[in-house]
Structure 1
Amino acid sequence: MRYMLTYDFMETMRNTNQWLGASANSLASYPVFSMMPNPALNWMAAWGEVTERTYQRMVVKPDWGIRTFTCEDGKDHLVDIASVVERPFGDLVHFKVNGREEQPRKVLLVAPMSGHYATLLRSTVKSLIVNCEVYVTDWHNARDIPVSAGKFDVEDYTQYLVDFMREMGPDTHVIAVCQPAPLTLAATAYLAEQDPDAQPLSLTLIGGPVDPDATPTEVTDFGRRVTMGQLEETMIQRVGFKYKGVGRMVYPGLLQLTSFMSMNAERHSKAFSDQIQRVMRGEASDHDAHNRFYDEYLAVMDMPAEFYLSTVERVFKNREIAKNEFVVNGHKVDMGKITNVAVKTVEGANDDISAPGQCIAALDLCTGLPDSKKASHVEPGAGHYGIFAGRSWRDNIRPLVIDFMNANAKRTPTRKAAPKAANKNTAA
């Protein structure tokens, strides 16, 4: 499948379905048909409207939609989203609230590079911007990155995080969501050895596969079943002629979306069928619950082939992070070198992607960190999305994370500590 023709064929099919939807909507909405009302035409127009929007959103990067913020003074302050560091594969962006005093907590929110844009964390950013200076890793769509920019694998990703942490300084609190949790832990350990003065104050890991084998899920089982050769042959394609990254090897976003949808095909099918009925009855709107969710869910980005393949091989199959054998730029990273960065793990009891046990494994790896600087929390009844963007995050997890930051707002002197078992109890 590693041909431009395959990539362009997928884009052609997407474009064709978008065109069919627009054509059906336009034809069925032709004014002359109003003289003889027909339910079939109403359905056709509704189907066309939903179909056009669905396929159009697949290639559109969502907007952050965070334009103003109401501060304690009762005034709406404009929010500027400015790039602090610009790199070929991703930027470090700052959500600056104009006219507001700088907040005491400076937070680096590490977004996943797992098929969706960083805007998937929009609600997380909104909740943190209330009383934090928020910075986010805004990863770029690989299809828009010229081949001349070179490769990007797990080591490059880790090095990007190291550079972002250095840029923000040692008074930073880092929150890694889902996929980047193990690499963020590695980046922190790398700094602990190479540049201790640049280490963050605290590190919060949310629902990440630090040790995928701790509690196997369908995702980790898939990584075990297939070989690297099978993955490369069936999942990797070259970007077609339409985009700047023409010729770059990627795991296409449209292919990823197919996998996402197939996991809950019946539920998605019902959601779109119900939406067509709502459009027919005039009950749908541009920003109703269906469109708000699927405008984000359907917006997918291509992933660099090297990053996808190295993630599967090194994080999931070989478990280099879990075994404390990860290497960055020829340097073996030792998680035990983390001695004065407070580490907290957050997991969802009902998480079927990164199940409880996978993330808390990070605490056992931090053998040089005293128990007083370790904490963990398992949120009852919460799934994967809920622990960083749903009600569980807003009502329960966010207050715990803020308290954890406050408790570790100052650096404690470095001291050698004997290896201790991880603190498995829920802590602030």
Structure 2
Amino acid sequence: MRYMATYDLMETIRNTNQWLGATAKTMASYPAMAAMPNPAMQWLAAWGEVTERTFERMVVKPSWGIRTMTCADGRDHLVSKEVVVEKPFGDLLHFNVLGREEMARKILLVAPMSGHYATLLRSTVQSLIPDCEVYVTDWHNARDIPVSAGKFDIEDYTLYLMEFMRFLGPDTHVIAVCQPAPLTLAATAYLAELDPDAQPRSLTLIGGPIDPGAAPTEVTDFGRRVTMGQLEETMIQRVGFKYKGVGRMVYPGLLQLSSFMSMNADRHSKAFTDQISRVSRGQASDHDAHNRFYDEYLAVMDMPAEFYLSTVERVFKNREIAKNEFIVDGHKVDMGAITSVAVKTVEGAKDDISAPGQCIAALNLCTGLPDSKKASHVEPGAGHYGIFAGKSWRNNIRPLVLEFIDQNSGKSGKPANINAA
């Protein structure tokens, strides 16, 4: 499958389905069709509308949609999205609230590079902006990165995080969500060895696979069973001629999406069938619950092949982070070198992607850190998404994280306001 033809074939199928949806909607909505009192026409128009929107969203990067924020002074302030560090494979964004005094808390939110854009953390960012200066890693779609930019694997990812931490300085509090948790832990440990003065004050790891073998899930079982040769042959393709990254080896977003959907095929099928029925009855809207969720969920990005393959091999198969054997740029990183950065882990009791036990393993790796600087929390009834973007995050986890940050900031931060979001 490692050919441009297969990449372009998937794009052709996506484009064709989008066209079929647009054609069906246009034909069934033709005014003359109103003379035929047949509910099948309404259903066909609804099917076309849902189908067109579904396949169109797969290649569109979602907007952050954070334009204003109501602050403690009771006024609405404009929010400016500024790139403060620009790199070939990802930027560091700052959500600058115009006209507001700089907040005491400075947070680096490390977004996952796992198929979706950083906008997946939109609600997380919105909940933190009222009380913090928020910086986010905004990873680029690999299909838009020229081959001349070189490779990007988990070692490069770790070095990027180190550069971002150095830029923000030692008063930073880092929050890593899901996939980047083990690499963020490694970046912090490497900084502790090379540049201790640049270490962040605290590190919060949310639902990350620090030790995938601690609590097996369907994801970890897949990573254990499949061989690297099978992955490279079935998952990796070359970007087609349509994009700037033509010729780059990637794990295509459309292929990732098919894997995501297959894990809960019945649930997704029912969701789309119900949405078609709602559209046909005139009960749907452009920003209803279905569209809000799937506009984000369906927007996928290509991952660099070397990043995907090295993640599976070194994090899941060889468990280099869990065994404290991770090497970056020829240097063996020792997690025990973390002696002053407070570390907190957050897990969801019903997380079926990074099950409870995988993330808390980070605390055992930090052998040089006193127990007073370690903390953990397991959220009852919360799944993977809920621990960073749902009701559990807003009402329970976010206040705990901000309290942990204030306890380890070295200065008093402004109190958390759980209703600010």
Partner of 2:72: 72
Deviates more, 1:31-40 or 1:224-233: 31-40
Q: Percent identity?
A: 84
SS of corresponding position for 1:245: coil
User: By how many angstroms is 1:74 displaced?
Assistant: 1.6
SS in 2 for 1:397: helix
Determine the C-alpha separation between the residues in 1 that align with 2:256 and 2:106: 33
CA distance in 2, matches of 1:268, 1:335: 40
Equivalent residues in 2 for 1:66-145, closer than 5 Å = 66-145=66-145
Matching residue's letter, 2:78: L
Corresponding letter in the other structure for 1:166 = R
User: How far apart in 2 are the matches of 1:297 and 1:33?
Assistant: 34
User: What one-letter code is carried by the residue in structure 2 that aligns with 1:78?
Assistant: L
Give the partner amino acid of 2:91: D
Aligned to 2:342: 342
Q: CA deviation at 1:347?
A: 0.3
Letter in 2 for 1:264: N
Distance (Å, rounded) in 1 between the aligned partners of 2:385 and 2:43: 33
Asked if residue 179 in structure 1 is aligned to residue 179 in structure 2, the reply is: yes
Q: Per-residue displacement from partner, 1:308-341 (whole Å, max 9, x unpaired)?
A: 0000000000000000000110111000000000
Residue 66 of structure 1 aligns to a residue whose secondary structure is: coil
Moved more, 73-82 or 336-345: 73-82
Alignment partner, residue 228 of structure 1 = 228
- Aligned-partner residue type, residue 373 of structure 1: K
Give the letter aligned to residue 389 of structure 2: A
For 1:202 and 1:71, locate their aligned partners in 2 and report how far apart those are by CA, in whole Å: 25
2:27 counterpart residue number:
27
Query: Which runs of structure 2 are paired with 1:146-225 in the superposition (5 Å)?
Result: 146-225=146-225
Q: What amino acid sits opposite 1:71 in the alignment? A: C
> Structure 2 counterpart of 1:11, which letter?
E
> For 2:107 and 2:48, how far apart are their aligned partners in 1?
43
Separation in structure 1 between the aligned mates of residue 381 and residue 268 of structure 2, nearest angstrom:
22
Q: Which residue of 2 aligns with 1:274?
A: 274
Partner Cα separation in structure 2 for residue 260 and residue 36 of structure 1: 40
Give per-residue Cα distances to partners, 1:1-50, cap 9 Å, x unaligned. Answer: 00000000000000000000000000000011112221111111000000
Matches of 2:105 and 2:316, distance apart in 1: 33
* Partner-residue secondary structure (3-state), 2:214: coil
CA distance in 1, matches of 2:45, 2:72: 47
Question: Which residue matches 2:357?
Answer: 357
State the distance in 1 between where 2:187 and 2:303 align: 20
Tell me which residue corresponds to 1:58.
58
Per the alignment, residue 16 of structure 1 pairs with: 16
What is the CA deviation profile of residues 379-425 of structure 1, one whole-angstrom value per residue up to 9, with x for unaligned ones?
A: 011000000000000000000000000000129xxxxxxxxxxxxxx
Rounded to whole Å, the distance in 2 between the matches of 1:70 and 1:353 is 35
Aligned position for 1:241: 241
2:312 alignment counterpart? 312
CA distance in 2: counterparts of 1:196 and 1:166, whole angstroms: 10
Q: Which moved more, 1:191-200 or 1:402-411?
A: 402-411
Query: Residue type matched to 2:315 in 1?
Result: V
TM-score, L = length of structure 1: 0.96
Q: For 2:368, what is the secondary structure of its paired residue?
A: coil
SS in 2 for 1:17: helix
Partner of 1:254: 254
Secondary structure class of the residue paired with 1:213: helix
Question: In 1, distance between residues paired with 2:152 and 2:44?
Answer: 44
Distance 1:306 1:350 in 2: 31
Residue 390 of structure 2 aligns with which residue?
Answer: 390
Separation (CA, whole Å) in 1 of partners of 2:132 and 2:383: 25
Partner in structure 1 of residue 378 of structure 2:
378
Whole-angstrom distance in 2 between the partners of 1:73 and 1:356: 40
Count of aligned pairs: 411
What is the CA-CA distance between 1:130 and the residue it aligns to? 1.2
Supply the AA of the counterpart residue of 1:376. Answer: S
1: distance between equivalents of 2:234 and 2:36? 50
SS of the equivalent of 1:410 reads coil
Taking the aligned partners of 1:209 and 1:369, their CA distance within structure 2 comes to 20
Question: Which whole-Å CA distance do the structure 1 matches of 2:7 and 2:100 have between them?
Answer: 46
Aligned-pair distance for 1:258?
0.2
Secondary structure of 1:95's aligned partner? strand
User: What are the Cα deviations for residues 115-137 of structure 1, in whole angstroms up to 9, with x where unaligned?
Assistant: 00000000000000010000000
- In structure 2, give the amino acid aligned to 1:155: E
Tell me, in whole angstroms, the C-alpha distance in 2 between the residues paired with 1:250 and 1:198: 33
Tell me which amino acid in the other structure corresponds to 1:88: P
SS at 2:27 equivalent: helix
- State the Cα distance separating 1:73 from its structure 2 match: 1.6
1:75 to partner: Cα distance: 1.2
Q: Which residue of 1 aligns with 2:419?
A: none
Q: Aligned partners of 2:105 and 2:244: how far apart in 1? A: 38
Amino acid at match of 2:394: R
CA distance in 2, matches of 1:229, 1:36: 57
Q: Write out per-residue CA displacement over residues 243-272 of structure 1, whole angstroms, 9 at most, x where no aligned residue.
A: 000000000000000000000000100000
TM-score by length of 2: 0.97
